[in-house]
C-alpha cells in the first residue's frame, strides 16, 4: 500500500529543470484490492475492480477530511492520515460493491483469529520484551497470507506501477497501462516502509509502559498503538523528504525487500488496465474539484 501522507506533490526534497517543466502532479496513494485498485488523491478517492463477467467497475467520491486541524501537529497528523484512509474503505464498498478488500477472504479472516489467540497465549507464557516482540512479528501473518493468496500481490504491483508511471510521465495522459508496464513494481511511498518503524516504536513504547505501569489498561494500550502509528508516519515522512541520505536508504531497505520478495508480483496486462481505470478516474474527479 502506498501511503498518502500529504496533499502536495513531493519528490523527496530534490528538484531539477526537467521536474520543473512537468505539469503539477497530484500526490497519490493507494491500496491494492483483491480484484482491483483503490487510489487516494488530495480530496477524493477512486476505485476500479474487475467484475466476474470481465468488465471493469469504477467508482469515486470525496474523502473524509481529518487532517486539516492536525496538519502541523507531529504524531497527530499521521494518525489522522491513517484514519482518513480507513474511513474511505466503507465508502468504496458502498460505491463499488464488487470490490474485494484485502482481508475479505475466509483464510485470511481465520488467520487473523488464529493470530489473536496465539498472541494471547504468548503473552501469558512468555511475557516481557521477548513476548511483545514475538506478538508483534506474529501480527504480520494475516497480511503475508493475504498477499500470497489470489491476485492481491499483483494488484499491489499495479498500484505502484500506475502511480510511478503517472509521476514520471511528461504528460499525465501518457501514464496509461503501457507506460505502467515499464514502471518498477516497488515504490518509495509504499506502506511497507511503515512496518519497521512501527514495530520498533511499538516495542520501545511497550517496554517503557511496562516499566511505568504494572498492569497497563486497555486505554493505555490503545494510546500506545496510536502513538506508535504516529511515530512510524513521522519516520516515513522524514525518509521521503531526505530520500538522498544514507539514513533514509537504510530506513527504506526493509520495506523495499518486503515489496520485492513478498508484497508485490508482476501484474498482467488485464490487471494493469484496471489500475489505469482507477488512475483515470482519480484524475477526472480531482480535476473537476479544482476547475
> Tens digits of per-residue pLDDT, 57-109?
999 999 988 766 667 788 888 888 888 889 999 999 999 999 999 887 666 55
Mean pLDDT score of the chain, rounded to an integer? 80
Read off the pLDDT band of 179 (50, 70, 90). Answer: low
- The average pLDDT across 277-283 equals 95
Question: Of the ranges 31-35, 61-65, 167-171, 276-280, which one carries the lowest mean pLDDT score?
Answer: 167-171
> Tens digits of per-residue pLDDT, 9-68?
233 333 334 444 555 788 899 999 999 999 999 999 999 999 999 999 999 999 988 766
pLDDT at 17: 40
- Inform me whether the pLDDT recorded for 289 exceeds 70: no
- Inform me whether the pLDDT recorded for 190 exceeds 70: yes
Question: What are the sequence ranges of the domains in the chain?
Answer: 17-105+149-290
C-alpha–C-alpha distance, residues 209 and 98, integer Å: 43
Amino acid at each position: 500500500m502506498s501511503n498518502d501522507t500529504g496533499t502536495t506533490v513531493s519528490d523527496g526534497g530534490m528538484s531539477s529543470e526537467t521536474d520543473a517543466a512537468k505539469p503539477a502532479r497530484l500526490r497519490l496513494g493507494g491500496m491494492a484490492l483483491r480484484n482491483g485498485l483503490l487510489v487516494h488523491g488530495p480530496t477524493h478517492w477512486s476505485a476500479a475492480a474487475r467484475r466476474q463477467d470481465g468488465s471493469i467497475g469504477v467508482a469515486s467520491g470525496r474523502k473524509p477530511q481529518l487532517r486539516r486541524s492536525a496538519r502541523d501537529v507531529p504524531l497527530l497528523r499521521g494518525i489522522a492520515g491513517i484514519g482518513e484512509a480507513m474511513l474511505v474503505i466503507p465508502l468504496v464498498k458502498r460505491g463499488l460493491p464488487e470490490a474485494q478488500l484485502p482481508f475479505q477472504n475466509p483464510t485470511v479472516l481465520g488467520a487473523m483469529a488464529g493470530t489473536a489467540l496465539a498472541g494471547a497465549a504468548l503473552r501469558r507464557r512468555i511475557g516481557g520484551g521477548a513476548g511483545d516482540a514475538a506478538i508483534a512479528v506474529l501480527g504480520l501473518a494475516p497480511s503475508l497470507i493475504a498477499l500470497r493468496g489470489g491476485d492481491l500481490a499483483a494488484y499491489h504491483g499495479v498500484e505502484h506501477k500506475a502511480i510511478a508511471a503517472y509521476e514520471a510521465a511528461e504528460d499525465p495522459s501518457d501514464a496509461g497501462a503501457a507506460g505502467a508496464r515499464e514502471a518498477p513494481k516497488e515504490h518509495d511511498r509504499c506502506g511497507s516502509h511503515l512496518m519497521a518503524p512501527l514495530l520498533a516504536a511499538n516495542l520501545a513504547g511497550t517496554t517503557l509502559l511496562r516499566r511505568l505501569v504494572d498492569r497497563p489498561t486497555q486505554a493505555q494500550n490503545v494510546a500506545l498503538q496510536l502513538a506508535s502509528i504516529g511515530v512510524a508516519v513521522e519516520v516515513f515522512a522524514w525518509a521521503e523528504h531526505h530520500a538522498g541520505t544514507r539514513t533514509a536508504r537504510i530506513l527504506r531497505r526493509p520495506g523495499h525487500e518486503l515489496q520485492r520478495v513478498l508484497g508485490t508480483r508482476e501484474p498482467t496486462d488485464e490487471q494493469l488496465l484496471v489500475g489505469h481505470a482507477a488512475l483515470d478516474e482519480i484524475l477526472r474527479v480531482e480535476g473537476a474539484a479544482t476547475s
